Chain A
Amino acid sequence: MSFRAKHLLGIEHLAPDEITALLDLADQYVDLNRRDVKHSEVLAGLTQINMFFENSTRTQASFELAGKRLGMDVMSMAMQASSVKKGETLIDTALTLNAMHPDLLVVRHPHSGAVNLLAEKVNCAVLNAGDGRHEHPTQALLDALTIRRAKGRLHRLSVAICGDIAHSRVARSNILLLGKMENRVRLVGPATLMPSGIAEFGVEVFEDMREGLEDVDVVMMLRLQKERMDGGFIPSEREYYHRYGLDPEKLSFAKDDAIVMHPGPMNRGVEIDGTLADDINRSVIQEQVEMGVAVRMAAMELLVRARRSSPREVLA
């Protein structure tokens, strides 16, 4: 077993062979999830707690389902409505839950690095479900699995990531993962939505969408994070759609068999044309959701196994 990580906090600390091992296992879970009886006992008896300090329906549902399909007892906590409001610190909340002996903590938090901080304080595996603008590792892994299944490989592909790169943890995790697996990454978007220091990321940056999409294998759209906007990043939604919204005309610059991805939830008519998003010949957006459950199952199993094989932790 080549997966060694104790926590899944980001793609940054994963090695290419760990990524491959995880995707291989996820492939098996895709098969399981397509059967009538979608259940495994591989993590039976273990406890998973989901702590979402930021609203999320889709991701939380995906993690919940993944844990249940592996036989775990799963509890989801809406942290926004709980003790955080009463002034309890993040660490105290974590320690409280830690005392209940969970085996896996799935955490989403609005601040970058908050999940790293929490992981230092608990003695179970922590899975980052998105922290601020930092990382969203399972999203990048599910995107990778989707690409690998659609394209037959996960290397030497040209991938364009388009839109609000600056505020996107999905973009960061994908840039890291695709780079580690030796793909060409292009970032496309207005200069105001590019993060600082982007020239040093080992990517190509395009402000013109048609140039950026030229001959790419994969077009990855990002949600325009309206709630993250302080205002003043783009003049208007309609100008953004005109210049950076993905429509058939702009997509025609990509390879004929290029796939279209979106992490959801979509703003139809803002960053992507609604008809295109539903085009089953081009869009793999629904597959992404399906891969999400499988990738999360694989990640959870590998994290638990890595802990079990650790010499410092003796499990009954």
Chain B
Amino acid sequence: MLLFTNARLIDPDTGRDESGALLVENGQIKELFYGGNPDLGVKTYDCGGNCLAPGIVDIGVKVCEPGERHKESFRTAGLAAAAGGVTTMVTRPDTIPTVDTPETLEFAKARGAEMSVVRIAQMASLTKARAGREMVEMGFLKDAGAVAFSDGDNVVADTKVLGRAMTYARSLGALVMGHPQEANMSNGAAVTSGKFASLRGLPGVSTMAERMGLERDLALVEMTGVAYHADQISCAAALPALRRAKDAGLDVTAGVSIHHLTLNALDVGDYRTFFKVKPPLRDEDDRLAMVEAVAEGLIDIICSMHTPQDEESKRLPFEEAASGAVGLETVLPAAMRLYHAGALDMPTLWRAMSLNPAQRLGLPGGRLGEGDPADLVLFDPDAPFVLDRWSLKSKSKNTPFDGQRLQGRVLKTYVGGREVYSL
């Protein structure tokens, strides 16, 4: 038994953000004491007024295992997650080879269980080799533990294939995660079109491509009745369609990456490839619209879209450089930017980072509820620091926040009541 005293408890389920104490027993949250610090005669840990919140459940982490272990492994991703307050990594299937058979899923699962200090939930691809032609063995994969089916940022361009896969997924009660994008329009694009793209001479894509992709996917959801999660919504143009689908009662949720909430297209500056992500960073108006959409709950989930890339794949001309940014260790301090800016309060942030992703995938926890697993993050929301990318625990150091001033440090992370990280 361990009693966390003098904590600022943040529970997205009840919306409470109050001081109190929390008792952990056998890896579970046993009891909460709002407003006081009871003397239970058990071992205590004084949180010193810092925030104690449910651990982050991060949908869409790329671990690079199997296939690219030089970029990231289950061990390093786990350490990075723990250092970032992420207690469950929901891993992407876009590895080499793709996680598209029960066998590869079993391999990844075994590696994860052996090497990672945080929990792992696996996603599998929707089509074989993410090629968009034949659906995977969804039934076997679901039985083997796949929590969702996604082709990552490969859009299933053939609408008939996607429709059938969705129909099949619906019959199994499986969740499909889409990447809303009109594939032909976004082909070859490196940035969002507009004045900045033109000045830099970089090929751009209109935000309309995202809207079109989402409209198509949502029409198929209406047709098939499948449970659908849009991995990343990044522009205001896509929001009306999302709102219509939710108002119509479709089983739809949407995510946004922390990068699209805290950075904009101009951050690319003079061709800084660490700011090349998919979809590309948007205009400031779009960023503000995304923050607003999270605040009102239209966008349900914030993720890090952790995508490790080695130095070589980023030290290239912008168009040729690989997309993606690591995010496990920066998602919390970046989210604190939104908190300190007064845009999102703590319970709202943790609803998007813990409760909603856990509930969408049917995982326990994501909140401070009695009987829930004691997956916890203790953090100081105000602690300032300058991020040095070489201090990251990820094997890859491709963070857009390198050298930036951030506020919010993780002090301790617990998975099932066990301490997995301490500053």
Contact = CB atoms under 8 A, between A and B. Distances in A.
Contacts of A12: 199
A36 B108 CA distance: 75
A20 to B, nearest CB: 23
A283 B317 CA distance: 37
Interface in A160-177: 166, 169, 172
B206 A196 contact: yes
Nearest to A135: B201
Given A89-B316, A91-B315, A132-B319, A112 B201 contact: yes
A249 interface: no
Nearest to A115: B317
A134 B198 CA distance: 8
B207 to A, nearest CB: 11
The listed residue with most A CB atoms (<10 A of its CB), out of B196, B198, B315, is: B198
B293 interface: no
Contacts, number: 71
Contacts of A132: 201-202, 317, 319
A197 B196 CA distance: 8
A112 B200 CA distance: 7
B317 A117 contact: yes
B193 A196 contact: yes
A210 to B, nearest CB: 26
Interface residues of B, number: 21
The listed residue with most B CB atoms (<10 A of its CB), out of A112, A133, A135, A166, is: A112
Contacts of B195: 196-198, 200-201
B198 A113 contact: no
Contacts of B271: 112-113, 116-117
A90 B317 contact: yes
A196 B318 contact: no
A113 B202 contact: yes
Nearest to A134: B201
A111 B320 contact: yes
Interface residues of A, number: 25
A261 to B, nearest CB: 21
Contacts of A133: 201-202
A311 B80 CA distance: 43
B312 A134 contact: no
A116 B315 CA distance: 12
A223 interface: no
A89 B317 CA distance: 10
A89 B199 contact: no
A109 B271 CA distance: 14
A25 interface: no
The listed residue with most A CB atoms (<10 A of its CB), out of B196, B201, B202, B318, is: B201
Interface in B163-202: 193-202
Interface string A164-204: 00100100100000000000000000000001111011000
B204 interface: yes
Contacts of A116: 270-271
A99 to B, nearest CB: 18
A19 B333 CA distance: 44
A221 to B, nearest CB: 20
B200 A198 contact: no
A221 B312 CA distance: 40
Interface string A76-89: 00000000000001
A113 B203 CA distance: 12
B194 A111 contact: no
B317 A111 contact: yes
Interface in A103-123: 109, 111-114, 116-117
8 contacts: A89-B316, A111-B319, A113-B319, A114-B317, A133-B201, A133-B202, A135-B201, A197-B196
Given A111-B318, A132-B201, 11 more contacts: A90-B317, A111-B319, A112-B317, A112-B318, A112-B319, A113-B202, A113-B317, A113-B318, A114-B317, A117-B271, A196-B193
Which 9 A-B pairs rank lowest in CB-CB distance, beginning with the nearest?
A197-B195, A134-B201, A113-B271, A133-B201, A195-B198, A112-B201, A111-B317, A196-B193, A197-B194
